[in-house]
Amino acid sequence: MTTMVMEREAPTLTATPWELVYQRPAALTDLPTHYCPGCSHGAIHRMVAEVIDELGIRERTIGVAPVGCAVFAYKYFNLDSCEAAHGRAPAMATGLKRVRPDRIVFTYQGDGDLASIGGNEILHAALRGEQITVIFVNNAVYGMTGGQMAPTTIAGMKTTSSPMGRDVLTQGYPIHIPELLAPMPGVAYAVRRSMHAVAEMRKVKKAIRMAFQAQLQGVGFSIVEILGACPTNWHVSPTDALDYIRDRMLPEYPVGDFKVDARLRD
Amino acid sequence: MTRGTVTIQSDRCKSCGLCIQACPQHVLAFAEEFNLRGYRPVQLDEREHHCTGCGVCALVCPDVVFTVYRQPLRRAA
């Protein structure tokens, strides 16, 4: 079945012509996403696409898609993209960037992909100071497989594989990736942002822009962790999921800049 | 006075309601009818207030359904 997408004509009711303020970025394809209602992935895809358009780098950007909910990211970005094995996006991005240093290479990864099975890859890509950009979406669960506990699941949070809540004495503590990577000399930009409010979302986009800027300037590895909502697996409504980020996730994962290279501030 | 407006690609909308909560002018509401995917899409409801074309709906929308237009500002010469 083909999905028909209709758009109303631009309004022409008034005498003065309307000024176009916002339209779909060219770096996104016309395909409707498969994400659940209220999922932050769609908005983060759009912000990445807007930044790529604004920097004018669409023709020389290569995206690396993860395994997880964002597995079809290569279909949604109107860019050259490839799909990495689970967690191996930084390794694939390393290869791409080393073979074609003139290209802008970014990975788009979830928390199950990056922090769990791909923990080794992300650590060593950061240690090597690879000139890549990592967009890391943290929603504290394995979304695609049905909401199991991830390394980023906060203490006490109920998931399908921790039905009594995550018990830190047996299941360990959540991992803080930007704080972990920030002390490494090869890392130029390591920040955490959140999607829970309009003002915070504007900061998310600024951080994504800075992360791409770091790669354009060649100052080192850049990573943006974004706290995203997963209403389906948190069993809350899309609007309540924003409150969940603010009340439950932010105390565990404070937003902030953990490392910003001095050359980026200029 | 109408200062801005949005067009909505109704068939992309998944009825998450993030834009309705975020809209500072409270001009967005769910439609009565369903779209092709079985969701009640968001629509512009300007009976009480008017859209200013601020673009907050486009910022929060995960499905990029909005295109935002604004009346150019006319400053006194």
Answer yes or no: are the C-beta atoms of A248 and A203 closer than 8 Å. no
Instruction: State which residues form the domain around A89.
Output: 40-265
Contact between A3 and B36 using a beta-carbon 8 Å cutoff? yes
Report if residue B76 sits inside a domain: no
Residues 6 or more apart whose CB falls under 8 angstroms from that of A17 comprise B72
pLDDT at A1: 42
For A5, nearest residue in chain B (alpha carbons): B11
Report if residue A201 sits inside a domain: yes
Contact between A3 and B37 using a beta-carbon 8 Å cutoff? yes
Domain of residue A155, CATH code: 3.40.50.970
Report if residue B77 sits inside a domain: no
Report if residue B27 sits inside a domain: yes
Residues of chain A contacting residue B70, judged by C-beta atoms under 8 Å apart: 18-19, 21
Decide if pLDDT at A83 tops 50: yes
pLDDT at A10: 57
Report if residue A27 sits inside a domain: no
* A12 touches B: beta carbon within 8 Å: no
Decide if pLDDT at B9 tops 60: yes
To test the contact with chain B by mutation, choose from A1, A9, A13, A19 the residue with the greatest count of B C-beta atoms within 10 A, namely A19
pLDDT digits (tens, 9 = 90+) for A132-169: 999 999 999 999 999 999 999 999 999 999 999 999 99
Report if residue B18 sits inside a domain: yes
Residues 6 or more apart whose CB falls under 8 angstroms from that of A41 comprise A33, A35, A69, A70, A137, A228, B62
Identify the burial level of A167 via C-beta atoms within 10 angstroms of its C-beta, where 0-12 means exposed, 13-18 middle and 19 or more buried: exposed
Report if residue B14 sits inside a domain: yes
Report if residue B43 sits inside a domain: yes
Q: How far off is chain A from B10, nearest CA to CA, in Å?
A: 7
Report if residue A13 sits inside a domain: no
Contact between A6 and B53 using a beta-carbon 8 Å cutoff? no
Residues of chain B contacting residue A42, judged by C-beta atoms under 8 Å apart: 61-64
Chain B contacts in chain A segment 30-89 (CB below 8 A): 32-33, 35-43, 46
Confidence of residue A85 (pLDDT cuts 50, 70, 90): very high
Considering only the beta carbons, identify the residue of A16, A38, A198 that sits closest to B72. A16
pLDDT digits (tens, 9 = 90+) for A190-211: 999 999 999 999 999 999 999 9
Residues of chain B contacting residue A25, judged by C-beta atoms under 8 Å apart: 64
Contact between B63 and A3 using a beta-carbon 8 Å cutoff? no
Confidence of residue A3 (pLDDT cuts 50, 70, 90): very low
Domain total in chain B:
1
| DSSP letter string, A145-201 | TTSEE-TTPPTT--BTTBTT---HHHH-----HHHHHTTSTTEEEEEEEE-SSHHHH
Confidence of residue B73 (pLDDT cuts 50, 70, 90): confident
Please give the Cα distance from B53 to B4 (Å, whole number): 4
Report if residue B75 sits inside a domain: no
Across residues A101-119, what is the average pLDDT?
Answer: 94
Considering only the beta carbons, identify the residue of A19, A35, A37 that sits closest to B69. A19
Residues 6 or more apart whose CB falls under 8 angstroms from that of A39 comprise A69, A143, A228, A229, A230, A231, A232, B62
pLDDT at A4: 47
Please give the Cα distance from B66 to A116 (Å, whole number): 36
ipTM of this complex prediction, to 2 decimal places: 0.91
Contact between A38 and B59 using a beta-carbon 8 Å cutoff? no
Report if residue B31 sits inside a domain: yes
* B31 touches A: beta carbon within 8 Å: no
* A28 touches B: beta carbon within 8 Å: yes
Please give the Cα distance from A156 to A54 (Å, whole number): 41
Domain total in chain A:
1
Instruction: State which residues form the domain around B8.
Output: 4-70
Domain of residue B57, CATH code: 3.30.70.20
Contact between B72 and A238 using a beta-carbon 8 Å cutoff? no
pLDDT digits (tens, 9 = 90+) for B16-57: 999 999 999 999 999 999 999 999 999 999 888 999 999 999
